[in-house]
Structure 1
Amino acid sequence: MQNCFQSTGTYIADQSLTDSVNIAAALEKPLLIKGEPGTGKTMLAQAVAEALGMELITWNIKSTTKAQDGLYTYDTIKRLYDSQFGEEGVNDISRYIRLGRLGEAFTRDSRTVLLIDEIDKADLEFPNDLLWELDRMEFHIPETGVTIRAKERPIVIITSNAEKELPDAFLRRCIFHYIDFPDKAMLTQIVKVHFPLVEAHLLEAAVSAFEEIRSIRSLRKKPGTSELIDWVNALSLSGISPEILAKELPFPGILIKKDEDMDAVKKHRYL
């Protein structure tokens, strides 16, 4: 396969993940990525776009998002307003059509990376409503009689936090990959990518303390890799010695974001 994705200078991916990305791109199927928060699901799409020299188009899904929003919108209110004030071209409906993020990806002259982020936030019908468009890479605009077809089929990366089960019909059309939380060696490598000059003993102590915190079973929101990166940066900037981390937890608010989790950490060992 040409133009294969590999880890970048800012994103470390293991072989199974790079294989999944490259197979999905070659088969022209959406890649569905799951994993707990902090495993780099959203950043993966950014890394793929960077590595392959493609534009990244992001569609952030909310609870109110409908599939139609990603295709196009027809601004009937603006057209009515323009007609009342005698604006020219009001009969040209295409002036009032605005493509959504999926529509934008279809009309690009070169291949793009399309991120559909947190698809499980939408209602249960949302994934099924996109089956035709993701299969055929086209959609019809009845108001203008125009069919939008993808000039270049985008690499589609879909993330899910597993808040809702996705329909079987949708899952059948996807390549699936679950991103496991990084082990100690991978966490160390990830931090080094961002802070190559961090002191080795401090980094080792920080990663060990971080893993110990994540091992507390009662935590409702475990810290992710982004919190670890920020924490190591704060420790380094403040000149914290590695020995302190064996008995204290400096800057706990970087890692812990809930009151009950802070109490659990206190009971466990720190503060």
Structure 2
Amino acid sequence: MQFQGTEDYVATDDLKMAVNAAVALERPLLVKGEPGTGKTELARQVSTALGLEMIEWHIKSTTKAQQGLYEYDAVSRLRDSQLGDARVNDVRNYIKKGKLWQAFTADKKVVLLIDEVDKADIEFPNDLLQELDKMAFHVYETDETISAKHRPIVIITSNNEKELPDAFLRRCFFHYIRFPDMDTLRKIVAVHHPGIKDALLTTALTQFYEIRETQGLKKKPSTSEVLDWLKLLLAEDLSPEDLKRDGANALPKLHGALLKNEQDVHLFERLAFLARGAR
């Protein structure tokens, strides 16, 4: 079971090696990188390439580890008991299976995505250590143990918003998705915009990397944002000459696809002002 990328996803050799190493070791693959570098999409493409079902668990700031196992609705059971509902005789009627339960009891091996683990409380990763290690957990209400029929391929993503516990890191195979270089980004663009002319692409990507390297930028535009920007350039039928910037207008064309906060827009406006003053 080897991941070699797909037609719709450009995976570097390092990334393919990381996926296959995690599968061989039967360890969760922890993927970090800037937002928009394809971490979540990686799990979907692994699922497609290996022909496996995918189960997605998107983490929020309020998510608790227990929700990934199961939730017991005691309130509904109490209400039903007051109404004389016969369902109260079986506690299983009030247990909601979580994503790990679904992955563990699937009839075939699945890909389990735990997306943006760093959004949750700092204790969240630690609370999943034993379950991810042993691939099993105990349901106290029914006194049963749920064990994985087939060990899922677990892919965990993080945007590096907070440090993850050492004990959690030790149990994972780690890979950092670096921002793609020009050649890799060209390959990614070719997948999404195969008909784009080379002159326009070269001018646009040169300008894009210049924007990313601008000192003082609060949020660097990501891979997904440059793809959106190129889509707009094609829709507007702009030429390489249309993209040229001068001192009077430092903002890129259709900059709303690349610059996502007012501080960065003001930064380019100040650069234009300074350039005009230097003339």
TM bucket by the smaller chain?
Answer: over 0.9
Residue 267 in structure 1 maps to residue 270 in structure 2: yes
The answer for the alignment partner of 1:190 in structure 2 is 188
Aligned partners of 2:76 and 2:56: how far apart in 1?
A: 26
Please point out which of 29, 34, 37 is paired with 1:36.
34
User: What are the Cα deviations for residues 51-85 of structure 1, in whole angstroms up to 9, with x where unaligned?
Assistant: 11111111111111111010000011111121122
Kept in 2, the 8 Å contact 1:45–1:157? The answer is: yes
The total of aligned residue pairs comes to: 269
The answer for the alignment partner of 1:25 in structure 2 is 23
Kept in 2, the 8 Å contact 1:33–1:178? The answer is: yes
Aligned partners of 1:109 and 1:130: how far apart in 2?
A: 22
Please point out which of 145, 148, 151 is paired with 1:150.
148
CA positional deviation for 1:89: 2.4
Aligned partners of 2:66 and 2:28: how far apart in 1?
A: 18
Unaligned runs of 5+ in 1: none
Aligned partners of 2:28 and 2:191: how far apart in 1?
A: 28
Poorly superposed stretches of 4+, deviation over 6 Å? none
**Secondary structure, aligned partner of 2:87:** coil
Amino acid corresponding to residue 171 of structure 2 in structure 1: R
Aligned partners of 1:266 and 1:186: how far apart in 2?
A: 31
The answer for the alignment partner of 1:165 in structure 2 is 163
Amino acid corresponding to residue 155 of structure 2 in structure 1: I
User: What are the Cα deviations for residues 100-154 of structure 1, in whole angstroms up to 9, with x where unaligned?
Assistant: 1111111101111111111111111111111110000000001001111111111
Kept in 1, the 8 Å contact 2:52–2:110? The answer is: yes
Unaligned runs of 5+ in 2: 274-279
CA positional deviation for 1:269: 5.4
Kept in 2, the 8 Å contact 1:216–1:265? The answer is: no
CA positional deviation for 1:218: 1.0
Please point out which of 227, 230, 233 is paired with 2:231.
233
Aligned partners of 2:272 and 2:8: how far apart in 1?
A: 33
The answer for the alignment partner of 1:254 in structure 2 is 257
Using the size of structure 1 for normalisation, the TM-score is 0.96
**Secondary structure, aligned partner of 1:10:** coil
Kept in 1, the 8 Å contact 2:80–2:87? The answer is: no
The answer for the alignment partner of 2:179 in structure 1 is 181
- 5 Å-filtered alignment, 1:1-271, equals 3-247=1-245, 249-268=252-271
Q: Which moved more, 1:261-270 or 1:100-109?
A: 261-270
**Secondary structure, aligned partner of 2:164:** coil
Aligned partners of 2:4 and 2:159: how far apart in 1?
A: 24
Amino acid corresponding to residue 38 of structure 1 in structure 2: G
**Secondary structure, aligned partner of 2:86:** coil
Aligned partners of 1:58 and 1:16: how far apart in 2?
A: 24
**Secondary structure, aligned partner of 1:90:** helix
| RMSD between superposed Cα atoms in Å | 1.5
CA positional deviation for 1:246: 2.1
* Max Rg structure: 2
Using the size of structure 2 for normalisation, the TM-score is 0.93
Kept in 2, the 8 Å contact 1:120–1:164? The answer is: yes
Aligned partners of 1:112 and 1:266: how far apart in 2?
A: 49
Aligned partners of 1:13 and 1:217: how far apart in 2?
A: 29
Aligned partners of 1:261 and 1:7: how far apart in 2?
A: 35
